Amino acid sequence: MFFKKSPLLGLLCLALASPAWAGLTTYSQLCPTSDPTFAPCGYGTTDASGHSNTLNWTSDVFGPDTAGPSTWEPSLDSDGNPILDGDGNPVLIEIPSIIPGSYLYTQSYSGAASAVALNDLWRLTMDVTLTDYKRSSYLWNWTDVADGPQAPGYYSVPTMAYVQTSSTDEITVDGGTGVYSLSYVFSLDGILTTTDPGVVYPSFCASLYLPGTQTASFGCKGPGDTIPTTFTLSYDDLLFGGPIIPTLNFTLSGILNPLYPSDQDPYGNPVFGQTVATNGDDTVDVNYTGQFGSTITLQKVIVTDSKGNPIDNLTFKSKNGYQYNVEGATQVPFSSAVPEPASILLVLAGGVAGWLASRNRRATR
């Protein structure tokens, strides 16, 4: 046995544990169709380090129904008795028959998604394959709403694959006057692929968002775009001394170019795209992926003035005690942050003494 459980080991692990961000969450969604009553979506979410999610779906496609031979049956009154004509003969009515459409093929959706959010490392992956997929299975749905900015109607559709990580922390920068800029610098290693960019469009997006503000630092990449090895998300015009709660969001998504139920929207405007009537029976075979599992890493945080110049004698605080690689400021702990190294050594020393004393007492019994 390589390890024995002991109070000393637990104390050591507690003392050396790295503080985390205030919030780390992951979420994923896989939807084979735009109608959840026809094919329910698969979801995965956690506030832990991460999760994976898979969904496989098939549906048989049949040809159109056709009219079969009709039969003639007596018409009955409310009491169930045959209705007679003037000559005393039963009145007959035609009963048409329907011949169900024959089996044509089986369409399928196979999807996988995963998300990991750690202190300074994020991983996102998705992989979706459609085989003999009928285009009318995935539509923009006109939806009426009672009120709201998009009333009286808007269209919405779930993405076929969606993966997100979200990370938050409370930060305070002191020591200056006026406003400052905060920049997060990341390294990136990932790819986006699709076997048919005219049919499905995968994308990777990154954003830095501050609650209560109207704008965010945001950027997206799609198939064919150059994925940078580094990128920066910045926020400007922040007030010194005022705590802020930055939220970092990374997303992967894949959306099949949808069909529309008609050639006009609810306002009567023309829809410039394909419709169910013209392209609903078209089928596609396509695979698309987003592989950012190798990884998205926070390299450093930079504090500057509004013109991008460093400012002297600034302090940078993380309420949750996370240690950033900060340029342009000195990071200092909040009062609620983790103990200083000297305090940790004192705690460990006390723990060692107590553990040894307890061990000696057991040995002398």
Selected residue with higher pLDDT from 119 and 145: 119
Asked whether residue 239 carries a pLDDT value surpassing 80, the answer given is yes
pTM (predicted TM-score): 0.73
Residue with tokens 């990136």: 188
SS3 276: helix
Q: What's the pLDDT tens digit per position in 257-310?
A: 878 777 776 667 777 777 888 888 889 999 999 999 777 999 999 999 888 888
Asked whether residue 83 carries a pLDDT value surpassing 50, the answer given is yes
Residue with tokens 């000297």: 342
Asked whether residue 217 carries a pLDDT value surpassing 70, the answer given is yes
How many CB atoms within 10 Å of residue 274? 16
54 backbone dihedrals φ, ψ, rounded to 5°: -130, 155
Nearest to 298 by CA among 173, 138, 194, 165: 165
**Domains of the chain: which residue ranges?**
1-17+341-365, 24-61+102-307
CB-side neighbour CA atoms (13 Å) of 140: 19
Confidence of residue 187 (pLDDT cuts 50, 70, 90): very high
Task: For residue 61, give every residue at least 6 positions away whose Cβ sits within 8 Å of its Cβ, in sequence order, or none.
Answer: 103, 104, 105, 106, 107, 132, 134
Mind spelling out the 3-state secondary structure of 87-149? CCCECEEEEEEEECCCEEEEEEEEEEEEEEECCCEEEEEEEEEEEEEEHHHCECEEEECCCCC
Question: What local confidence, expressed as pLDDT, does residue 174 receive?
Answer: 92
Q: Of 136-145, 169-178, 263-272, 349-358, where does mean pLDDT reach its minimum?
A: 349-358
Mean pLDDT across 88-103:
86
245 backbone dihedrals φ, ψ, rounded to 5°: -125, 80
Q: What's the pLDDT tens digit per position in 348-358?
A: 334 434 433 44
Pair 55, 109: CB distance under 8 Å: yes
Range with the largest mean pLDDT of 131-145, 163-177, 256-270: 163-177
Question: What local confidence, expressed as pLDDT, does residue 214 receive?
Answer: 57
Question: What local confidence, expressed as pLDDT, does residue 47 receive?
Answer: 58
* Percent of the chain residues past pLDDT 90, beyond the cut: 23
Q: What's the pLDDT tens digit per position in 59-73?
A: 988 877 888 888 888
Question: What local confidence, expressed as pLDDT, does residue 39 receive?
Answer: 79
